[in-house]
Amino acid sequence: MDEKHRCVQLSVNPSRGLMDEKFVILVQHAPPGSELTVHALHQCDDGHGWDAFAHYISDATGRVNVSEDCSLGGTYSGIEPMGLLWSLRPVPGSKPGLRLRKKNVQEPMLVTVSVYEGHRKEGFADLVPLASVLVERWYMAPGVRRIPVTEGGLTATLFLPPGPGPFPAVMDLWGGGGQLVEYRSALLASHGIAALAIDYLTAKNTSQTGINMSATYFETAYKFLQEHPQILGSRIAMMGLSFGTGVTLRMAAYSEVMKLRCAVCISGSHVQPVDKEMGSVKELLCFVSLQMGRLQCPLMLIVGEDDQNWAAEESANDMKEMMERAGNSHLLTVLSYPEAGHLIEPPYTPHVRFSKFKSVGTDFTVMVLWGGQTLAHSRAQEDSWKKMLFFLRVNLFSGARPDGKSLSNL
């Protein structure tokens, strides 16, 4: 290390925060005009390493402020305050097809942010940093409660915000890969909305019978929330991504039991299997379009225009036309993002254009193309999350009626 670089200081503020919370990375006391590389390294729950880096030149006072200064190259360029998170990629030499997903939300995502002398592109493991800071990124805010749910044959996890409640709630569904995915629900609870993460494809009953859940399964989850003492039973929404979108739309349009306050559908379709039950994923060979005129609650559609997995943009256009003909298009909000792909997740989740995927009901793993360009996709994640939270708050906390005709507190 050059003697003049020994006094370099690095800070990240806040060093402990929510996953969707911005931070400020500041380098100080570097020689003026120094070439510096700011680097982020994360080891995910499955043991794989992810990193990102950017090149900067210190100003006349020896400072680099990542929130204000321009990256000259690396895994991102330009002024990108959160670029070291959203541009994380598998470290060189990793096996192909990885995707970063938080499995244990009760522990933080740990990211080591370091600053190195010179403009480096590789070999970070063999270099000695000028300074390093360990950053904690949480999906669960302090006070959020995680409660496993097995009542009524459910396989689910309830996340309750801090405080006594009662709280409005969201039923949270992911896609065709199955499993109990909790991190979005945990983050929703961190913003004051209770969330029930539901495993509906690999749940206990499904694995034992080989038949996926019927509408009754989701109505059981709805009734569980309705009857919970810390949930506002008349203020329940439903959210789905990918295959979960079809389930959400079907329940919102056809269930006689579920009276949803609103629904959010991400990167999915209104096209459904023709059978009356949900069916097996591998049996989705014959499809029919849902009658969107039946929908009576506000609906937000979030789509990426470079989605290579589902025809989400085309589906959104079809739904808009159907609802216009039916006279309920006032209930519809569409967020459509150019160059965004299929996996639109919470802010600063690293973008992957493709990854390995094993669909429920199959015995093999395939490489799936999700689409999206990293910068545009990351912008879409940040923007859609902010607007989705606003949509949920308007419809769950205000005086909105289930038919969307009255929105106070706007």
- Rounded distance, CA 374 to CA 87, Å? 7
In Å, the largest CA–CA distance within the chain is 73
Nearest to 98 by CA among 359, 356, 348, 373: 356
* Catalytic residue annotation: 242, 307, 342
Q: CB 253: neighbour CB atoms within 10 A?
A: 20
Length of the chain: 410
Amino acid identity of 214? S
- Rounded distance, CA 125 to CA 39, Å? 11
Those residues with Cβ within 8 angstroms of residue 398's Cβ, 6 or more apart along the chain or in another chain: 407, 408, 409, 410
Those residues with Cβ within 8 angstroms of residue 272's Cβ, 6 or more apart along the chain or in another chain: 246, 249, 250, 287, 288, 289, 290
- What number of CA atoms fall less than 13 Å from residue 16's CA on the CB side? 5
Amino acid identity of 49? G
DSSP state of 38: E
- Rounded distance, CA 319 to CA 324, Å? 8
Q: Are 281 and 233 in contact (CB under 8 A)?
A: no
Amino acid identity of 233? G
Taking CB atoms within 8 Å and a gap of at least 24, the contacts of 131-136 are 131/8, 131/9, 131/10, 131/27, 132/10, 133/10, 133/11, 133/12, 133/15, 134/15, 134/110, 135/12, 135/15, 135/16, 135/23, 135/110, 135/111, 136/15, 136/16, 136/17, 136/108, 136/109, 136/110
Q: Where are the alpha helices (DSSP H) in 49-106?
A: 83-86
Through-space distance between the first and last CA atoms of the chain, rounded to whole angstroms: 56
The helix/strand count (H/E) of the chain reads as 7, 21
